[in-house]
Amino acid sequence: MPAEPPRLTTAEVAQRLGVRPATVYAYVSRGLLSSHRNGQGKGSLFDRDEVDTFLSARKQPLLPGIQTGITLIQGGRLQYRGHDAIQLASVASFEEVVHLLWTGTRDYVPLPADETQRRLAEAVIGPLPAIARHTDRLRVAVAALAAADPLRFDTSPAAVTATARTLLGTMVATLPLAGRATSAGSIAERLWPRLTAGEPTPKEHSLLDAALILLADHDIAASTLAARVAASTRANPYAVVGAGLAALDGPLHGAASSLAHPLLAESMSRPDPIGTIADQLRSGEPVPGFGHRLYPDGDPRATALFEMLGDTRAREAAERLVDIMRTRSGLRPNVDLALAALCMEHGMPAEAGETIFAVARTAGWIAHALEEYGDRPLRFRPSGEYSVPRSR
């Protein structure tokens, strides 16, 4: 008799597929995998060959390859158009990096707000409830600004960059004030009083500038893919930014720093941060602000921001968490923890990190849209794998 094929336990299948055991059971209920009871009638067993076939099918690319000359992440380094992003964060302005991402040339070009657009956006977002976050307001404002621009479907490079410059400036000007307003200056100088009432110094403006630069783009992240798919349909630049903002809204993407913020705040209020991490682990959720699959040796953006923060209470609290996580699990901090520390140190609310992320990444979405407008339209058309429960 031929030997039975080797079988795997539920835990082994979950590890092999990189999912939770509950997800394995969901695959079984949908008929995507078949299971067998073990000899004792307890637990489930799975055919190794079937699991491997399922895994191979999941690994097949569903989207066309995206050729991009914008961002390179390699060997623990982040580069924009061949320039080291960490170095740019210490010597350049956000405006310079925006121009670099959009045109390939580093030059300072202002990002002005349009007063007519600002008044329209404020009128539209005014009725929103007080609990609306900054990114909620930005999504509504961007949609309203699109409706008011009859020439928005001009996707020539000159038209897109002109539209996007004013859009970025107006997005910032639309946000409610927390401190004393300034209508002139850089994006960082205009954004600061909308994040905190604290009076900034030139050093703090430079810190916010650096954060914007480090978050401006990150290759084909989830929100960037959404933006490129929209651009491939020849959606206008406002719609591209709207698509990016929609994907950014998830707690696993742009809102991740807002989850790290309360973790950091709690650790600062307790004598031993181990309890903070233990409570998070007990909830069954990963500890926010740690780990990044593209940076197994540590996120260079986090390292850069922490260094720029200097010797502050928030950085000290973050480093206590970092020491514990590195010792226990080997996980290193990512930019979300550093962004949360920046916000906490300067009296910014938890959502401020998401706001910084959204303003910064708008520059990257437009850069990718410019590439996509120059490529074949409607090239993103994956096919679904239709499945129905198998008959019992």
Looking up residue 24, the CATH number of its domain turns out to be 1.10.1660.10
Q: Give pLDDT, residue 5.
A: 57
**229 shares its domain with 243:** yes
**210 shares its domain with 291:** no
Of 83-92, 227-236, 247-256, the range with the lowest mean pLDDT is 247-256
| pLDDT band (50, 70, 90) for residue 298 | very high
Greatest mean pLDDT among 19-28, 127-136, 373-382: 127-136
List Cα–Cα distances, 91 to 95, 213, 359, in angstroms.
12, 10, 20
Calculate mean pLDDT across residues 92-109.
Answer: 98
Bridge-based pairing state of the strands 77-80 and 71-74:
antiparallel
Amino acid symbol at 37: R
Calculate mean pLDDT across residues 336-353.
Answer: 96
Calculate mean pLDDT across residues 121-135.
Answer: 96
Write the pLDDT tens digit of every residue in 259-291: 999 999 988 888 888 888 888 888 877 888 999
**31 shares its domain with 110:** no
**191 shares its domain with 249:** yes
173 occurs within a structural domain: yes
**273 shares its domain with 226:** no
Q: How does DSSP assign 146-193, residue by residue?
A: HHT-TTTT--SHHHHHHHHHHHHHHHHHHSPPSS---SSS-HHHHHGG
SS3 374: coil
**316 shares its domain with 365:** no
122 occurs within a structural domain: yes
* Token pair of 196 as six digits: 């905190």
Q: How many CB atoms lie within 10 A of CB 385?
A: 10
**139 shares its domain with 244:** yes
Calculate mean pLDDT across residues 387-391.
Answer: 62
Instruction: Give the residue numbers spanning the domain of 198.
Output: 71-255+351-373
Q: Give pLDDT, residue 1.
A: 41
Q: What is the CATH number of the domain that holds 296?
A: 1.10.230.10
**251 shares its domain with 262:** no
- The strand ranges marked E within the chain are 7-9, 36-37, 44-47, 71-74, 77-80, 83-84
Calculate mean pLDDT across residues 361-385.
Answer: 91
| pLDDT band (50, 70, 90) for residue 99 | very high
Write the pLDDT tens digit of every residue in 317-332: 999 999 999 888 888 9
Calculate mean pLDDT across residues 339-365.
Answer: 97
Query: Active-site positions?
Result: 292, 336
139 occurs within a structural domain: yes
CA dist 173 and 78 (Å) reads 30
Tell me what percent of the residues of the chain surpass a pLDDT of 90.
66
Domains in the chain: how many in total? Answer: 3
338 occurs within a structural domain: yes
CA dist 235 and 154 (Å) reads 10
| Burial class, 353, CB count within 10 angstroms (exposed 0-12 / middle 13-18 / buried 19+) | buried
**139 shares its domain with 228:** yes
CA dist 143 and 314 (Å) reads 36
Write the pLDDT tens digit of every residue in 299-310: 999 999 999 999
**233 shares its domain with 276:** no
**154 shares its domain with 294:** no
- Please tell me what DSSP assigns to residue 209: H
**216 shares its domain with 336:** no
Q: Give pLDDT, residue 4.
A: 52
- Please tell me what DSSP assigns to residue 45: E
Instruction: Say yes or no to pLDDT of 135 above 50.
Output: yes
66 occurs within a structural domain: no
Q: Give pLDDT, residue 59.
A: 61
Rounded to 5 degrees, φ, ψ at 333 are -70, 150
Q: What is the pTM of this model?
A: 0.84
244 occurs within a structural domain: yes
95 occurs within a structural domain: yes
In terms of pLDDT, which residue wins out, 73 or 4?
A: 73
Q: Give pLDDT, residue 108.
A: 97
Of 4-8, 145-149, 162-166, 177-181, the range with the lowest mean pLDDT is 4-8
Average pLDDT, rounded, for the chain: 90
Write the pLDDT tens digit of every residue in 17-60: 888 888 888 888 777 888 887 766 567 888 888 888 888 766 65
392 occurs within a structural domain: no
* Token pair of 351 as six digits: 């959502």
